[in-house]
Each structure stands twice: as structure tokens, then as C-alpha cells.
Amino acid sequence: MYAQITQFTKMLHTLSRLLDKAQAHANANGFEAEVLLNARLAPDMLPLTSQVQWVCDTASLATAVLAGRQPPVSANSEKTISELKVRIDETIGYISSINEGEFAGWEDRIVAPPGWSGAFRGKDYFYQHAVPNFYFHMVTAYAILRHKGVKIGKLDYIGQLPFLR
């Protein structure tokens, strides 16, 4: 499970690099990067800015509650790529501040995230909500950029892999 927490961090670095590519694409094509931040895949889906904020919120909420900590609260007020990259860095910093030992007993910890009407076993919350929700927003962010013509591909999403040979 801690390997999945580490993976959240890896994907957050990936997301930051995707935003760099979004900025470069906007610069190269003579439009404001905010056009991409406001883009959506459907009128009633969240725009890219919100997708990035949700990736961060999901990762920090999951690590916090499974470590028995009070989750951090964000104003979600970011408006620019620079601000979103700071938010991503802060999220990575928060996740990294939690030691592996703090997760002891996570599977059976009863978690009731703030604002939720129900409680879960930690293991159910993690695999059935936190991980799929994290990837939901991560892939949707990727898909918005891809849909809008940013030159990114699957390898940008997967990132470097630790091959043995």
C-alpha cells in the first residue's frame, strides 16, 4: 500500500510536467494557457483547473486519513499554471512528510473523511475510492490536454519505469 502512496507522488510529478507541456503548447500557438485550464470534455464536467485540484485533494486526503491525521484543507483558489504547480509541489511535500510507519493498521482503520456522510474500513476506502478517484482526475486532466491538441502521449503519463534489464 505504501508503494501506492509513493505512486501518488510519482503521478503528481507527472502532472506538473504535463502542465509545463500545456504552457509550452499555449506559448507556441499564441494563446493564453488559461484557455486550457478552463477547458472541459463536456459542458457539465469540471475544467482542467478543478481536475488538478481534485488530484491533489484526493492524494492528500487519502494519505492523511489513512495515517490517522487531520486532512489538510485547501481553498482551491489556483488560477494559473504556476499556482497549480505550487499546489502540486505542496501536495507532494505533504505526502512526503508522512512516514510509512504512520500508516500502521491502515487496512482496518475506520475512516470518515470530512464532509462525507459515511465511514469506511481503510482498505475499502483506499482501493474502492481513493485510488480510482485519484486516477479519474489524473486521466481526465491528461485527456483534456490531449483533446485540446497538446503534444503528449502515453509515455508522458506512465513516466519512467524501473526496468531491471
Instruction: Summarize as ranges the residues that interact with its own copies (CB under 8 A).
Output: 3-4, 6-7, 10-11, 41-42, 45, 110, 118-121, 123-124, 126-129, 131-133, 135-136, 138-140, 142-143, 146-147, 149, 154, 157-159, 161-165
Q: To the nearest whole angstrom, how small is the minimum distance from the Cβ of residue 146 to its own copies?
A: 5
Q: To the nearest whole angstrom, how small is the minimum distance from the Cβ of residue 7 to its own copies?
A: 5
**Cβ-based nearer residue to its own copies, 46 or 80:** 46
Contact 55, 15 (CB under 8 A): yes
**Cβ-based nearer residue to its own copies, 31 or 86:** 31
Quote the distance between the C-alpha of residue 44 and its chain's center: 20
Bridge partners (DSSP) listed for residue 110: 121
**Cβ-based nearer residue to its own copies, 47 or 80:** 47
Determine the angle formed by the axes of helices 2-29 and 48-66, rounding to 10 degrees: 160
**Cβ-based nearer residue to its own copies, 103 or 142:** 142
Whole-number Å distance between alpha carbons of 128 and 41? 24
Q: To the nearest whole angstrom, how small is the minimum distance from the Cβ of residue 131 to its own copies?
A: 7
Closest CA to 66 of 107, 31, 29, 36: 107
Q: To the nearest whole angstrom, how small is the minimum distance from the Cβ of residue 94 to its own copies?
A: 20
In sequence order, what are the residues at sequence separation of 6 or more whose Cβ sits closer than 8 angstroms to the Cβ of residue 92? 9, 12, 13
